[in-house]
Amino acid sequence: MALLEVEGLTVSFRSRYGQVTAVDNVSFSVTEGETLAIVGESGSGKSVTCYSLLQLLPRPPASIEAGTALFNELDLLRLSERELRKVRGSEIAMVFQDPMTSLNPYLSIGSQLIEPLQLHHGCGRREALQKAVVALKEVGIDRPQTRISDYPHQLSGGMRQRVMIAMALIAEPRLLIADEPTTALDVTVQAQILQLLKRIQQQRQLTVIFISHDLAVVAEIADRVLVMHQGQVVEAGSCSEVLQRPQQQYTRDLLAAVPRGAKQKTATEVAPALLRVSQLSTWFAGSGGSFFGAEAAPNKAVDDVSFEVRRGEIVGLVGESGSGKSTTGRSVLQLLPQTAGLVEFDGVNLSQLKRYQMQQMRRRMQMIFQDPYASLNPRMTVYECLAEPLLHHGLAVRGSAMAQVLQLMDDVGLARAGIRKYPHEFSGGQRQRIAIGRAIATRPEFIVADEPVSALDVTIQSQILELLLALVEQHNLSMLFISHDLAVVRKLCDRVLVMRAGKLVESGAVEAVYANPQHPYTKTLLAALPQLAAVP
């Protein structure tokens, strides 16, 4: 029996460019006890569809133009705010993508957990707290009695997402809407959360709508799949059917974009080392040190790490958040002061350089950052952004930089017409192209790329990866590619380094490590990788 039946849902937004249709005549139904995955890129309307079911969109600018959404004989789209409040939380609950921003930092998780109980079920405080402890236990949190008085910042990302799930489930809803619940998490944590969702879904016979852009994740959890593109449903069907025998071209493109397999061409083994890192350590002063007081024990973010990068080689550095991989990348570029060890670039010991020498050296070594929304100055146009490194290093003179900037834009696949625009006028993928253009502007020999594709959709991700590969080959670049995504690393890199808690635990040629991991941690990482098995 269908628990939710959506018919002809159309949602539009008022914008500067007029009325924009975000969801266009979407129909689907969810049967009691099944997991439906809605898949699509950002901007495909998958989140808007679900948010409009609970009327969570700000109106205006959003407006629901047409459609019905029958849930339990009730048309959700026509409920008053009062009636909706009875549905939200108690009948339909949501889990959001970012567990940090969706928990209130000023309230203990206990008081946030019991809120829906007191609201919807009229429970007393004591009874509600008991239920909260049970709920925390159900989502796999150790020592729930003590944990319940913790504040969100005291929990890790995975724990916070568990709390969010507990909070969604505590009022025993019939439908759970999970909006990219694992996207912000590490791969091992993601695997745990997926397993948790699956287990709870089966135990409670819960109905789940799972929104995701990641087909590999969807393959693990969904019974049925709905593919959305530009506000419309492109394809729908059972999970195995859609993923193994896609009917539509768009679905096939989506599947083809999932990183799979190994790098086509591997770098020559004999190339000389460009970067040699030996026994690098970067420690941070412990927190709690006051102005005059003694400092607390240091946090050893990077501890005795040695590796080298040869010319023309892409070396992957994988690990979970907090493993010290980003710190390693920044220490190599001397963006963070190293505590001990030696970083040699082309035979030069970087920590011995004077400040101005280092500033000159930076022309030869650049960085690409993870978040293209934060790594571009919002008040600089594309032209200014790309011209700055050229002018600064004397590679162009003011007035004649234009031709070089246009050439750069061509190189990274940006339309020339966008040269006067500001970063916010571009999509995430285009912004990352700007950031890449900035990094290659000075013709560097070495680039540290810190999770450059983690914030991007899968199709955009594959385009950016291809761009990086092409640039590496074209300019004979060497790259340290930092990522938590093992599939991406396999696709792009020649060698891989695995980091955990500041230490290098394993290194070797990508295929060798993936085929035969030595360290137990590497094995865990590889096992947690969601697999898109047997897809054409």
Partner 1 sequence: MSVALPVDAQQSSSLWGDAWWRLRRNRAALAGLIFLSVIVVVALLTPLLAPYAYEEQRLALGASGPSAAHWLGTDVLGRDMLTRIMYGGRVSLLVGFVATAVALLIGVLYGAVAGYVGGRVDAVMMRFVDILYALPFMIFIILLLVIFGQSMLLLFIAIGAVEWLTMARIVRGQVQNIRRQEFVEAAVSMGLGPWTIIRRHVIPNTLGPVIVYTTLTIPSVMLLEAFLSFLGLGVQPPQSSWGLLISYGVETMEEFPWLLVYPGLALTLTLFALNFLGDGLRDALDPQSASGRGGS
Binding site for partner 1 (CB under 8 A): 16-17, 291, 330, 333, 335, 358-363, 365-367, 369-371, 374-381, 383-384, 388-389, 392-393, 399, 402, 406, 416-417, 419-422, 424-425, 435, 438, 442
Q: How far apart are CA 1 and CA 161, in angstroms?
A: 30
Closest CB to partner 1 among residues 421, 475: 421
Q: For residue 60, with 0-12 CB atoms within 10 Å meaning exposed, 13-18 middle and 19 or more buried, which class applies? A: exposed
- The residue (of 121 and 392) whose beta carbon lies closer to partner 1 is 392
* Least gap, CB of 333 to partner 1 (angstroms): 6
Give the length of the chain.
Answer: 536
The one-letter amino acid at 124:
G
Helices (H), 187-267: 187-204, 215-221, 239-244, 249-257
Residue 278 CB, shortest distance to partner 1, in Å, is 22
Task: Identify which of residues 141 and 441 has a Cβ nearer to partner 1 in the complex.
Answer: 441
Q: How far apart are CA 123 and CA 144, in angstroms?
A: 19
Shortest gap between Cβ of 440 and partner 1 (angstroms)? Answer: 12
Minimum Å distance from CB 404 to partner 1?
13
Shortest spacing between CB 277 and partner 1, in angstroms: 17
82 vs 379, beta carbon nearer partner 1? 379
CB 501, min distance to partner 1, A? 24
Question: Smaller CB distance to partner 1: residue 83 or 425?
Answer: 425
Q: Are 93 and 171 in contact (CB under 8 A)?
A: yes
Tell me how far the alpha carbon of residue 463 is from its chain's centroid. Answer: 16
Say if CB 248 and CB 235 are below 8 A apart: yes
Q: What span, in angstroms and rounded, lies between the C-alpha atoms of 498 and 521?
A: 9
Tokens 């047409």 belong to which residue? 66
CB of 393 to partner 1, least distance (A): 7
> Judged by CB, which is closer to partner 1: 293, or 536?
293
Judged by CB, which is closer to partner 1: 168, or 449? 449
Q: Rank residues 134 and 335 by Cβ distance to partner 1 and give the closer one.
A: 335
Q: Which is nearer to partner 1, 32 or 425 (CB)?
A: 425
- For residue 29, the tally of other CB atoms under 10 A from its CB is 16
How far apart are alpha carbons 192 and 272 in whole angstroms? 42
- Closer by beta carbon to partner 1, 84 or else 406: 406
| Own/partner long-range contacts of 438-441 (Cβ < 8 Å, ≥24 apart) | 438/366, 438/385, 438/386, 438/388, 438/389, 439/366, 439/367, 439/368, 440/366, 440/408, 440/411, 440/412, 440/471, 440/475, 440/477, 441/386, 441/389, 441/390, 441/395, 441/404, 441/408
CB-nearer residue toward partner 1: 106 or 291: 291
Bond from prior residue into 61 cis (ω within 30 degrees of 0): yes
How many Å apart are CA 377 and CA 34, to the nearest integer? 45
CB 190 within 8 A of CB 524: no
CA 312 – CA 276 distance, rounded (Å): 14
Q: Shortest approach of partner 1 to residue 373 CB, angstroms?
A: 9
Q: Closest separation between CB of residue 483 and partner 1, Å?
A: 17
At its nearest, how many Å lie between partner 1 and the CB of residue 417?
Answer: 5
Nearer Cβ to partner 1, position 351 or 442?
A: 442
Cβ of residue 149: shortest distance to partner 1, in angstroms? 30
Shortest Å distance, C-beta 500 to partner 1: 24
In whole angstroms, what separates CA 148 from the centre of its chain? 28
Q: Both tokens of residue 192?
A: 């745990």
Type of residue numbered 471: L
Instruction: Tell me the closest approach of the beta carbon of residue 473 to partner 1, in angstroms.
Output: 23
Q: Is 16 or 126 the residue whose CB approaches partner 1 more closely?
A: 16
- φ/ψ (deg, to 5) at 309: -120, 125
CB 432 within 8 A of CB 464: yes
Distance CA 194, CA 162 (A): 11
